[in-house]
Amino acid sequence: MLVGMARTEPDTRPSAARLRLLNTATRLFYAEGIHSVGVDRIIAEAQVTRATFYRHFPSKDDLILAYLREVHVLERGLVEAAIAANSAPVDSLLGIAGAIAQNVQSPAFRGCAFLNAAAEYPDAGHPVHQEIIAHRQWFLDTLTMLMAQVHEETADPAARHFVMLRDGAMAAGCLFNPTLVSETFLHGVEGLLRINTERQSAETDR
């Protein structure tokens, strides 16, 4: 490198067009479903050319995967924030549950993006379905890790129980009073944690 010459780093920021496409797809896919929203509509609402779309996303499936990964990053951020804000695992789990309950009560709530996508992509071999499974496995693994700090022996079933409570809230929140659904979900999580905390206390006192 010549002395005094400025070193130029490659610009890795996503282009404005790609962001518009992804933001548009995220809004439409979540609100209306994936199969019902075509590429032409996304291109029109994002105000880009067809060539621009295919330069960033070679196929609609690539855009769908980007959408799900974007939602994963958002949900992972909420979970990690709850863990970072609480030193005790029970409080972290309650924080995660609280974030879920808040989401259920949000005005634009339309259920779980991953469960919605799973209904449209049931083929286990499809990349979209595999992306869904990867996200859910991450969530289950995170809950299992936290539950193991509450009561190690029952961590696996307790984490699965939490996931089932969450899935139920995600489905019911679209059909019934979201406030009541959220309260029921939180009571369920609190009961689950209370049972496992009492088990740990009983074993410690032996």
Distance CA 16, CA 38 (A): 21
114 contacts 136 by C-beta, under 8 angstroms: yes
Assigned token pair, 123: 């083929």
> What pLDDT shows up at residue 14?
63
Counting as low any pLDDT under 50, the low residues of the chain are 1-12
> What pLDDT shows up at residue 204?
65
> What pLDDT shows up at residue 6?
41
Query: Which residues, in sequence order, are CB contacts of 167 under 8 Å at separation 6+?
Result: 112, 115
**Burial class of 168 by CB neighbour count within 10 A (0 to 12, 13 to 18, 19+):** middle
177 contacts 109 by C-beta, under 8 angstroms: no
Third-level CATH fold of 14-58:
Arc Repressor Mutant, subunit A (1.10.10)
**Burial class of 2 by CB neighbour count within 10 A (0 to 12, 13 to 18, 19+):** exposed
Q: The tokens 């779980």 sit on which residue?
A: 112
> What pLDDT shows up at residue 148?
96
128 contacts 108 by C-beta, under 8 angstroms: no
Assigned token pair, 122: 């049931």
Q: Could you tell me the sign of the dihedral formed by the alpha carbons of 136, 138, 144, 147, in that order?
A: negative
Q: Could you tell me which CATH number the domain at 65-205 has?
A: 1.10.357.10
Q: The tokens 């406030």 sit on which residue?
A: 179
- Ordered by start, the domain boundaries in the chain are 14-58, 65-205
Tell me, what amino acid is at 89?
A: P
